[in-house]
Amino acid sequence: MADCLFCKIAAKQIPASIVHEDADLVAFKDIAPQAPVHVLIVPRVHIESLNALDECHGALMGRIIVVAAKLARDLGLAEGGYRLVTNCGPDAGQTVFHLHTHLLGGTPLSGRMG
Ligand code: 5GP
Ligand code: ZN
């Protein structure tokens, strides 16, 4: 999508600290980290939010989780643990309307999730 921040990062039109990329996904460090490790995993294809998913996206969403878990292992988070978060819509505080999953870890995280 022409005017989407994460489409532009995925296309390398805007710089980001990329930690993983493949045919389907790009993962990069969050510009305003909320934990020692804060990575965003995004599909290359523009999907606005979880609200836009249907059955055809099942494999892609599975890959996001699998890549997040691999990154967590590679970044040394596996033993201590980590959190994956996908915000959807205003009540969850979604600010970028290109689907993304946050990988957060490297410190004990807040016990509250909402
Ligand atoms: P959301 O609030 O939509 O769940 O998450 C959006 C995330 O994108 C935020 O954590 C924010 O810090 C991050 N972000 C916003 N703009 C940029 C940017 O230009 N580059 C990077 N790397 N992250 C960004
Ligand atoms: Zn996009």
Domains of the chain plus CATH, in order, are 5-82 (3.30.428.10)
From 6, 30, 34, 100, mutation site for ligand 1 pocket: most ligand atoms within 8 A of C-beta = 30
Give yes or no for a contact between 21 and 61, defined as CB atoms under 8 angstroms apart: no
Query: Given a cut of 90, is residue 1 above it in pLDDT?
Result: no
Question: What's the 38 CA to ligand 1 centre distance in angstroms?
Answer: 10
Give yes or no for a contact between 45 and 10, defined as CB atoms under 8 angstroms apart: no
pTM: 0.98
pLDDT of 114 reads: 87
pLDDT of 88 reads: 98
Query: Mean pLDDT across the stretch 87-113?
Result: 97
Give the ligand at the shortest distance from the Cα of 89: 1
Which atom of ligand 1 is nearest to 32's Cα? Answer: 12
Q: Would you call 98 a catalytic residue per the annotation?
A: no
pLDDT of 17 reads: 98
Instruction: Locate 6 and state its tokens.
Output: 């994460």
Query: Mean pLDDT across the stretch 90-98?
Result: 98
Which atom of ligand 1 is nearest to 87's Cα? Answer: 4
Residue 10 identity (one-letter amino acid): A
pLDDT of 95 reads: 98
pLDDT of 2 reads: 84
Tell me the chain's radius of gyration from C-alpha atoms. Answer: 14
pLDDT digits (tens, 9 = 90+) for 4-63: 999 999 999 999 999 999 999 999 999 999 999 999 999 999 999 999 999 999 999 999
